[in-house]
Amino acid sequence: MTRWTFLFSAAAVAAQAAKTRPNILLLLADNWAWPHAACAGDPVIRTPTFDRIAREGVLFTHSFAPNPSCSPSRALLLTGQETHRLGAAASLYGNMSPNIPTYTGLLEKDGYFTGFSDKGWGPGSPEKAGWAHNPAGRSYPNFDAFLQAKPAGQAFCYWFGSHDPHVPWNRGQERKAHMDAAKVKVPAHLPDTPVVRDDILNYYCEVEQFDFECGEILKTLEARGELDNTLIVMTSDNGWQMPRGLGNCYDLGVRTPLAMRYPAMIRAGQVREDYVSFGDLAPTFLEAAGIAAPKTLTTYSLFSNHRRAEMFVERERHANVRKGDLSYPVRGVRTADFLYLRNFEPDRWPAGDPEFYWAVGPYGDVDDSPTKQMLLKDKPQPFFDLILGKRPAEELYDVKRDPDQVHNLAADPKLAKVKIALAAKVQAWMQDTGDPRATDPHTDFWDRAPYSGAKLKTK
């Protein structure tokens, strides 16, 4: 049973936006997965800032970044549109057209002072696509510098794009002193070894570092007396970077923490269990500011009455790691009971070619870590094949019995009707949202789309 009675009527939201234009603060981690937060039940990690925002606002238990790749996910955030609608921007290092409306641009046009620090939209080359600056806004060294530049009395929209917890996990190491490796939950797709447990602790250290830095920003707002007039969102652009996370449409690649605080519109202590998208933040920010959302949006304000019972997921090319610049296209749907994935090109290597091609290294859609190095060296089974091997055209997982999604039931005749129904849902979603693969499943558009990442030089 859901445990929320969220916000107020649309009329009340509009009245509040007209009365007081809130500041908007986005606290964005780089590859942080659900449920790695104390208030989400993780027994090891400490996240007092995230816990506070959840406690004083609303915690979303089924938040998804539906494209598990950094720049496409951030393009979804900015535009509120499914990434397959954004051309080359559906892929990592793909250019995003400046003609596509973004919430940052619309807020700035309507009088907001906008800017970001650290990682905005990216990785990519906005200037090559014709942007005057990063789509997230103008760049500032930190929040204090941004506030110093802001004219007095002007509402702001600030994007803190942390680089944590992105690999290499080498920041905040002093935090490991309080962590108990024995309490770490190792997902079923990874071997339970000291190397893996230590890797997870290093990732936790950077999550805690991100949480600490977000707490410092909140302290600044409190000191200025602006905390309660600021809509605060704390979340992540993707799941974690452990093997079979980032770049994959399984939960640990797409399911993310999300909490939101704004006392004028959000009653404290709520928990929302419906399915929400990273792209829902664009219409949410616009509605809070009293700005009409473009009709191109395919997402919904979190202040609206729209509720999802499922989440559609997708990916195109992540890193350029297959000979011929090939993508690994996936579309799928996650419901309360199942995860269904359609792999359009099952003859390709989902984790990248075993031999180095352009970026990262062998199996380059899995970023380097001690865990990956162990997989390549020892080739432990079944983990090696599960993470790095080829996959069938369809995958189906019972997420209640198999929460780590390791037992593919797509060939089970008992679930044939379930698979057919979910495949039909995915096809209908693709058609309704203008996905080129709805009519041309094997289109080479994303194979041919320019990749702006530099070629890695090997020894």
Q: Using alpha carbons, list the distances in angstroms from residue 410 to 101, 170, 351, 425.
A: 39, 39, 20, 16
Report pLDDT digits (tens) over 34-46: 999 999 999 999 9
Angle between helices 10-19 and 281-288 (to 10 degrees): 60
Report pLDDT digits (tens) over 365-421: 999 999 999 999 999 999 999 999 999 999 999 999 999 999 999 999 999 999 999
User: Tokens for 146?
Assistant: 């941004």
Q: Residue 135 has what DSSP assignment?
A: T
pLDDT band at 2 (very low <50, low <70, confident <90, very high): very low
Average pLDDT over residues 173-185: 97
For 249, the 3-state DSSP assignment is: coil
User: Tokens for 125?
Assistant: 């080359």
Q: Which pLDDT value is given to residue 315?
A: 98
Q: Which pLDDT value is given to residue 5?
A: 44
Matching residue, tokens 């390549």: 376
Q: Which pLDDT value is given to residue 266?
A: 97
* Average pLDDT taken over every residue of the chain: 95
Q: Which pLDDT value is given to residue 457?
A: 76
Q: Which pLDDT value is given to residue 456?
A: 86
For 447, the 3-state DSSP assignment is: helix
User: Cis omega before residue 165 (within 30°)?
Assistant: yes
Q: Which superfamily is assigned to 10-307 in CATH?
A: Alkaline Phosphatase, subunit A (3.40.720.10)
Q: Which pLDDT value is given to residue 20?
A: 79
User: Cα–Cα distance between 458 and 139 in angstroms, integer?
Assistant: 32
Fold designation for 314-448: Arylsulfatase, C-terminal domain (3.30.1120)
Average pLDDT over residues 20-49: 97
Handedness of CA 204, 162, 105, 22 (dihedral sign): positive
Domain with CATH 3.40.720.10 in the chain: 10-307
User: Tokens for 164?
Assistant: 């944590």
- Given a contact cutoff of 8 angstroms between Cβ atoms, the answer to whether 219 and 230 are in contact is no
pLDDT band at 3 (very low <50, low <70, confident <90, very high): very low
pTM score above 0.85: yes
Dihedral Cα 199, 202, 208, 212, nearest 10 deg? -150
Largest CA distance in the chain: 65
